[in-house]
Amino acid sequence: MAGSFRLVVAVTCTLVLASACQGLEVGYYKKTCPRVEAIVRDEVKKFVYKNAGIGAGLIRLVFHDCFVQGCDGSVLLDPTPVNPQPEKLSPPNMPSLRGFEVIDAAKDAVEKTCPGIVSCADIVAFAARDATYFLSRFKVKINMPAGRLDGRVSIASEALNNLPPPFSNITELINSFATKGLDAEDMVVLSGAHTVGRSHCSSFVPDRLAVPSDISAWFANILKRRCPANPTPGNDPTVNQDIFTPNAFDNQYYKNVLEHKVLFKSDAALITTPATAKMVNDNAFIPGWWEDKFAKAFVKMAGIEVKIGNQGEIRKNCRVVNYGRPNY
């Protein structure tokens, strides 16, 4: 098993579409804050080694950030009297989105060394990259471009409108990713992040456990024992998205898809067309294939609609816009 972790995947902006990077640069802070990536990695390591679920949360956090207003840290903004409903309070994010405390800790550590230099949006991207690195047991190493600015707009309804729900079919998934400049293969590859993390029962009950269903009877029985038939806010347990290797960032997810042992309709949808089914099969059985594809797609996703110039700012506190700026 140890030998299987020797592969290291390194990806930079030059290996993906130039348009995805939008002026981002690997080593962006090498002169202004040369230790920033090491500082963020140390903070992520502290949290992930205590709780692998936090790592899964950080990976999900960058996806939920980038699909709404672009990769600009807008998901981090807290409610204010001016804006009582920011993204983080939207149903796709609350209460399941995790990792905010890691971003706070990393930002505090960075500010002590390089005040006013590093954006929260870049810290989110670095933290997700580092969580991937640790959960993959150092197998996936991504050179993450930086240079994002923090946005000033965060609206809960935009999360509902932009984040693909877990009941999406294959056409809806492909279209949702296409609007962000990502193709069908990017969608299939990035879906592999469901190999880690947990989900509330309400995200798939009762639809996925109804009869008839494509879900494995064996897996359905396990879920029925762990989930109430009608989850409520007061009774909505969580279950591992990957029952076999829940804390490992690996390609087991794709084997689960093929065996009909996945939670969401959107997971099961990946094998409903010949083209995407082939991608699933390749990711499941070609050694190193998915890790390489994921690293490239991850860099591409982390470049969605980044803000530059007067479009954004460097927040002093990741949870609030800078003084005198609107948060709406």
Question: What does the pLDDT read at residue 13?
Answer: 54
Average confidence score pLDDT of the chain:
92
Q: Give me the torsion for CA of 274, 179, 259, 1, rounded to 10°.
A: 110
Note the pLDDT tens digit of each residue in 235-259: 999 999 999 999 999 999 999 999 9
Going along the chain from its start, the domains and CATH numbers come out as: 8-163+303-311 (1.10.520.10), 188-289 (1.10.420.10)
Active site residue 64: yes
Question: What does the pLDDT read at residue 325?
Answer: 53
Note the pLDDT tens digit of each residue in 255-271: 999 999 999 999 999 99
Query: Which residue of the set 64, 194, 200, 260 is catalytic?
Result: 64
Note the pLDDT tens digit of each residue in 93-126: 998 899 999 999 999 999 999 999 999 999 999 9
Backbone angles phi, psi at 317, to 5 degrees: -130, 125
Question: What does the pLDDT read at residue 19?
Answer: 36
292 has a pLDDT exceeding 60: yes
Band (20; pLDDT cuts 50, 70, 90): very low
Question: What does the pLDDT read at residue 23?
Answer: 81
